[in-house]
Amino acid sequence: MEPQLVRLSKTVTIFVTFFGLIKTLSAACLPNSTQFESSCYSFLNITTWANGQKWCQEIGTMHMVIESAEENAFIIQEMRLRDMAHAWIGCSDEQTEGAWVCHFADGVTRAMSYADWRSDQPNNWKNQDCASVRSDNGKWMDDFCHHHERFYVVCETNSTKVEIPPAVVSSSAGTVTCYIMGADGRLRP
């Protein structure tokens, strides 16, 4: 093991031994993202569904996929805090009309297992294929995937993917050591 990694390993061990924080550390979200249960969410700007997916992928995430009433409630609360009236959901019926599939951050695509459509939705009006949620009533609608002036992008990733936070601080032996993750993904003091 490289010296830096040995030092990091010792640092983490000290944390586990004295503070029992490994669970907290392993469930950390990166800065500028918000945690709910085991997911981290990043709230970005307005763009099309496809471009939003690209934005999310650039930061190692995907469009959010809402899978419970609790998650839906969390999302609309966070949207309201940010004055976001509409946001994309990472599900579409673009491939087969009426067969809604969702694209998850782990790269898997699965049939939609939870939905909270408004009573008259999805209506596929003029061939709408992308799912969205509105924060006024928390209900879902299908809309035009190419719509570029209404829907905000909310990215989601599993927080357990972040096994080591970008900065690990140790106060052992009266010293403080900070580690940052470089562009190559390596940790260094």
Residues at the site binding Ca ion, with contacts judged by CB under 5 A: 93, 123-125, 128-129, 141-142
Residue 77's identity, in one-letter code, is Q
State the nearest-atom distance from the C-beta of 138 to Ca ion, in Å.
16
Strand-pairing partners, residue 178, are 169
State the nearest-atom distance from the C-beta of 131 to Ca ion, in Å.
9
State the nearest-atom distance from the C-beta of 167 to Ca ion, in Å.
44
State the nearest-atom distance from the C-beta of 111 to Ca ion, in Å.
15
Separation CA 176–CA 94 (nearest Å)? 52
Q: Which is nearer to Ca ion, 44 or 141 (CB)?
A: 141
Q: Which is nearer to Ca ion, 17 or 124 (CB)?
A: 124
Q: Which is nearer to Ca ion, 8 or 65 (CB)?
A: 65
Q: What is the DSSP letter of 120?
A: T
Q: Are 40 and 166 in contact (CB under 8 A)?
A: no
Find, among 150, 147, 162, 156, the residue nearest to 72 by Cα. Answer: 156
Find, among 106, 102, 112, the residue nearest to 49 by Cα. Answer: 102
State the nearest-atom distance from the C-beta of 91 to Ca ion, in Å.
11
Q: Which is nearer to Ca ion, 122 or 165 (CB)?
A: 122
Q: Which is nearer to Ca ion, 67 or 129 (CB)?
A: 129
Find, among 106, 62, 89, 99, the residue nearest to 145 by Cα. Answer: 89
